Structure 1
């Protein structure tokens, strides 16, 4: 583990030992490529919204992703912040009139993310999981499977999203109680 991940795990309180250990195992020993791992972690950190988690994961991710990959991971989180809300709401309305209406929302980054499109979709899946958009989770998982990603790779991205989110929730709770 390098400094960013070390600093993040050190920031977690004693009751979050499981989260600390899981950060090490999901990010330090992932079966995904380093680009997939750290792009998933960074996009998840943006979605999880905790400044400490974001800062420390971003510091570590830069060495694995480079500037273009960092921008793409942040872009995945940004575009999902919009589309997850939109598609989740359309699904919740459960009215065919809304289903047939076009989104008319710009989503150019999805077509040209600046990184491998499969990796970008993996990052979108992780963010959609954190944002609780079942429509988007299913759509991204299907796209990934169609691109040749295995269930194990999808599962690994879900694990990373869960642990990064848990670290953010824990540090948010500690900040609120301080």
Structure 2
């Protein structure tokens, strides 16, 4: 499946998503690694097999295997961390904020991708998963590594559109459309 096939599968009421999918995947302030790593990581976070397959099919000539793997690492680690740290942040029990998480996160440093790119992917997945504590942490890191506000906005727009496309496709399937 390709991005074009994915767009054609969207119902008519999701026309804006079709248009936005093309535009968010061609933002000039992002490198190919930043764009397609974000797309893959957020597709995995959005959990729609058709969207994951379409994004994955587009990756072959856009980013190398190391970056593909690192985007998968970002998605998997944020899937865990966003739940844990969202709970810590929202819990009324203050002690959780000072307790050691004790969760293995070796992939945060052993992923092989550019540090800024990995942080952008982690930020985008954290936005999908709604973890304010992780968003704050990763946003701080991307700015420290030299990202612009426009780059941050761009990866969050990719996350928003990929997630909305996933939801629209699932909704259409559930409605028999």
Structure 1 length-normalised TM? 0.95
Offset of residue 58 of structure 1: 0.9
User: Where does residue 150 of structure 2 map in the other structure?
Assistant: 152
Partner of 1:50: 48
Runs of at least 5 residues in structure 2 that lack an aligned partner in the other structure: none
Work out the CA distance in 2 between the residues paired with 1:139 and 1:62: 31
Q: Distance in 2 between matches of 1:80 and 1:66?
A: 21
Matched with 1:118 is 116
Equivalent-residue separation in structure 1 for 2:44 and 2:61 (angstroms): 17
Paired residue secondary structure (2:62) = helix
How far apart, CA to CA, are the structure 2 residues paired with 1:130 and 1:29? 19
User: Residues 1-178 of structure 1 correspond to what in structure 2 (within 5 A)?
Assistant: 4-178=2-176
Q: Distance in 2 between matches of 1:64 and 1:72?
A: 14
* Post-superposition offset of 1:62: 2.9
Q: CA deviation at 1:30?
A: 4.3
Q: Deviations over 1:43-78 (max 9, x none)?
A: 000000011111001111232112221111111100
Larger displacement relative to structure 2 (47-56 or 23-32): 23-32
Q: CA RMSD in A?
A: 1.1
Instruction: Return the offset for 1:108.
Output: 0.5
Structure with the bigger percentage of helix: 1
Deviation for aligned residue 1:25: 0.5
Is 2:27–2:154's contact at 8 Å kept on the other side of the alignment?
no
Q: Which runs of 5+ in 1 are unaligned?
A: none
Instruction: Give distance in 1, aligned partners of 2:27 and 2:139.
Output: 22
1:124, CA displacement in angstroms? Answer: 0.4
User: Is the 8 Å Cα contact of residues 62 and 70 (structure 1) preserved in structure 2?
Assistant: no
